[in-house]
Amino acid sequence: MKAIKKNYKVAEFIRFAMVGFFATGIHYGIYLGLQASGVKYNIAYTLGYGISFIFNFVASNYFTFKTNPTVKNGARFAGAHIINYFLQMTLLNLFIYMKIPNNIAPIFVFAISIPVNFILVRLSLKKALKK
C-alpha cells in the first residue's frame, strides 16, 4: 500500500511540474511577445501572469490533482497566486532596476518564485484535498 501511495505522489509531482513548466512557458512567451510589441514590461508581465494563471488553475484541477474546479478551490488557488504575483512583480522591478535586461529578468524571477509558488499552491490545494 505504501508503494502505491508513494508512486501516486511521485506521479502527482511530475504532473505538477509539467503544468508548471507549461504555465511558465505561456507566461514568458506572452511577456516576450508583448514586450516585442512595445507593451511596457509591468503590463506585459501582468497579462502573461493572468493568462498562465487560468491555464494553471484548469490544468492543476483536471490533470494534476484530478479534481473538479470549485469556487472554494479557486479562491485558495488565487490566494496563493496573489502572494506569488506580488513577489514576482517586486522581483521583476528589482532586477530591472539592477540593469538586468527586460527579456532576461523574468528568468531570475522564475528561479526564485517557482519554489515559493510550489509551496503556496501545495498548501492551498492540500487543504482543499483534505476536506
Model-level pTM? 0.86
Contacts with 71 (C-beta within 8 Å, 6 or more apart), sequence order:
none
Q: What is the mean pLDDT of residues 53-70?
A: 88
- In the block, which residue shows the cell 502573461? 48
The number of folded domains in the chain is 1
Residue 84, pLDDT score: 93
Q: What is the mean pLDDT of residues 89-96?
A: 98
Residue 60, pLDDT score: 87
Angle at the Cα of 126 (from 29 to 14), degrees rounded to 5? 50
Could you report the per-residue pLDDT of 20-44, keeping only the tens digit for each? 999 999 999 999 999 999 999 999 9
Are the C-beta atoms of 114 and 24 separated by less than 8 Å?
A: yes
Residue 48 has pLDDT above 80, yes or no: yes
Are the C-beta atoms of 51 and 126 separated by less than 8 Å?
A: no
Residue 1, pLDDT score: 62
Q: What is the span of the domain harbouring residue 102?
A: 2-130
Angle at the Cα of 22 (from 35 to 44), degrees rounded to 5? 20
